[in-house]
Amino acid sequence: MKHITDVHNGREYLVERANKQNINDLRHVNNVVLPVIYNNDRVYNQMVDFGAFSYIVYDKKNDKREPIAGVGCRLEMMRKRAEKEEDETYPVPLKLNVMTLSVLSAYRGRGIGRALMGLIFDQVPQFENQEMNMAEVNHVYLNVQTSNEDAIRFYQNIGFTIVETIKNYYKRVDNQDCHVLTLSRCNIPSKV
């Protein structure tokens, strides 16, 4: 069982990989925190499918576990294999999409989001080893509303850079534009 330690008071929070039994806890945190509501089960099924990169954080209070944060990711192919690669001697190039990272407002500034990103980064080489080096994560990317300056600053402090701005990306929100931020494999920090 993993734990994240609060950087201010040393309190430990329980961390679990996303699975079919707890994915609604991640959905709950996302619905409270994010301006975009992901009601599509497909999105959450993808997070469960790539559970090595999707986590939920709980605060244990009076023998109750309260979900307070979470991160949901999926792996995507960067391109199809070329014909000469069909013999599968080359690793499949992948990109890791951080679909959601949410921390309830009462728990922000305690290092929880940073610790979740660290867990994801730690999983990249472990995933590649499990795949016997037939898959390779080349970079991590995510989308952030252009108006969300705190989130942009958070990701840039970890090493992400803005590579593109997409107009009208989000639907049914005031600010519909997003920045695409990426972090190449060679720039993934060993400690976040």
* Residues 128-158: tens digit of each pLDDT: 777 666 778 889 999 999 999 999 999 999 9
Model pLDDT, residue 78? 77
In a domain? residue 44? yes
Residue 150's CATH number:
3.40.630.30
Show the beta-strand stretches assigned E in 78-170.
92-103, 135-145, 161-166
Residue labelled with tokens 């990426």: 182
Domain count, the chain: 1
User: Is position 84 within any domain?
Assistant: yes
Residue 32 belongs to some domain of the structure: yes
Q: Rounded to whole angstroms, how far apart are CA atoms 165 and 122? A: 28
| Tokens matching residue 126 | 């472990």
Helix, strand, coil percent values for the chain (each to nearest 5): 30, 35, 35
Q: Answer yes or no: is pLDDT of 88 > 60.
A: no
Q: Which residues pair with 16 in a beta bridge?
A: 56
Q: What is the pLDDT of residues 14-41, one digit of tens each?
A: 999 999 999 999 999 999 999 888 888 8
- Give 161-185 pLDDT, tens digit per residue: 999 999 999 888 888 999 999 999 8
Cβ neighbours, 10 Å, residue 175: 12
DSSP 7: T
In the chain, the percentage of residues whose pLDDT exceeds 70 is 92
On whether residue 175 sits in a domain, the answer given is yes
Residue 192 lies in a domain: no
Torsion of CA 152, 58, 106, 5, to 10 degrees: -70
137 within some domain: yes
Token output for 24: 């609604």
CA 53 vs CA 1, 24, 144: distances in Å: 15, 16, 19
Q: Is there a domain that residue 183 lies in? A: yes
Q: Which residue, among 99, 3, 6, has the nearest Cα to 54 in the 3D structure?
A: 99
Coil, strand or helix at 148: coil
By residue range, what is the domain housing residue 10?
A: 2-187
Q: What percent of the chain has pLDDT over 90?
A: 62
Q: What local confidence, expressed as pLDDT, does residue 186 receive?
A: 82
The closest of 32, 48, 183, 43 to 118, measured between CA atoms, is 183
By CB atoms closer than 10 A (0-12, 13-18, 19+), residue 56 is: buried
In a domain, 91, yes or no: yes
Please check the confidence at residue 53 and state whether its pLDDT lies above 90.
yes
